[in-house]
Amino acid sequence: MKKDRATLTTEKRNCKSRNIDRLSTLQIVEVINTEDMIVAPAVAKERKAIAAAVDVIVKRFKKGGRLFYVGAGTSGRLGVLDASECPPTFGVRPTLVQGIIAGGRRALVRSIEGAEDHAEDGMRSIQRKKVKANDVVIGIAACGLTPFVHGALSRARKLGAATVFITCAPEMVKHLPADIIINPVVGPEVITGSTRMKAGTATKLVLNTITTAVMIKLGKVYDNLMVDLNATNEKLKDRSIRIVTWITGLSRKKAEVLLGRARGRVKAAIVMYFRNTDFTGARKLLRQNDDSLRKVIERAP
C-alpha cells in the first residue's frame, strides 16, 4: 500500500519538542516525560477494541487455536517479548503465543530495517507457522503501512484466522486488513518518526493488556495471583510458596511441603489443600472445572 508518509501522525513533527537540542538535560527529560503522559489515556480510549480482541482470542484458544504477533523493528520486538513472557508467567506452552519479526531472530538484537519492505515475506511467515482458522494473528505497525505486516495479515485472513491490527496512525484505520483495529493515537513523537518512543510504549501497554486479560479469562489467575506460573528460578519458586501461603493461610514451611507433594504446581497444591485430595485428584478436579481454581474452591463441600 502506497501512502504519503508525511501525512501520517507518526511521522509529523512535534511542535512541543522543537529546539530540544538547545535545552538543558533536565528540560529534555521533562519534555519526554510530558509527552509520555499522553500514552495511557490514548490506550484507554481503545479499551472496547482491546476487550473485543481479548474475547476473540479466548474463544479461539478454547477451540485449540494460537495467537501470533507479527511486526517489524520495535513493533516486532515488542510482540516477541510479550509472547516469550507468557510461558513463565502463566504456565502455557511456548507455542500458544508466538512472535514473528521481519528478518527473523537476528532482527531481535540488530536492526534489519529492509526486512519489513516485502509483503511476500510476511505471507511466507504465516505459511511456515501453518496458521489455521482457529488461530488469531495480530499485526503491529506504528505507521500502519509496513508491507511485511500487511502481507501476513492478508494471508491469515484468507486462511480464515481472526485478525487484529495495532497502529498509532489514525490515517490508516480505514485501509487496514483486519477484523479488529486498535488505534491508540499518541501524536507525533518527540524525535520525529522515532516510534520506539510513545508508539512503542502504547503498543507494549496494549499487548500486556491483551495477554494478561486473556489469561485471566482462561483461569490462569486467581484473585490477582499468577497461580499457573512456571517456577523455573529461585524468584519464582519463592513466589510460588508465598502464593500458597496467601491463599491457604498455611505457614511458609507447610506451604513448601505441600508444593513438593504437588510437584511444584501452585494451583494443584491449593486444590489439594481445600479439597483434601492428592495430586492426581487435584488435577482431575481442575479438568472438571475448566482449569479454574476459583470454581474448584467455591464448589468445595
Of the candidates 85, 113, 171, 189, the residue annotated as catalytic is 85
Distances, alpha carbon 48 to alpha carbons 161, 162, 181, 198, 206, in Å: 21, 17, 10, 21, 12
Of the candidates 46, 116, 171, 189, the residue annotated as catalytic is 116
Please write down the long-range contacts of 23-30, taking CB distance under 8 Å and 24 or more positions apart. none
Q: Which grid cell is 138?
A: 495480530
CB 273 within 8 Å of CB 300: no
Q: Which grid cell is 270?
A: 491449593
Please confirm, yes or no, whether 11 is among the known catalytic residues.
Answer: no
Please confirm, yes or no, whether 85 is among the known catalytic residues.
Answer: yes
Q: Which residues are catalytic?
A: 85, 116
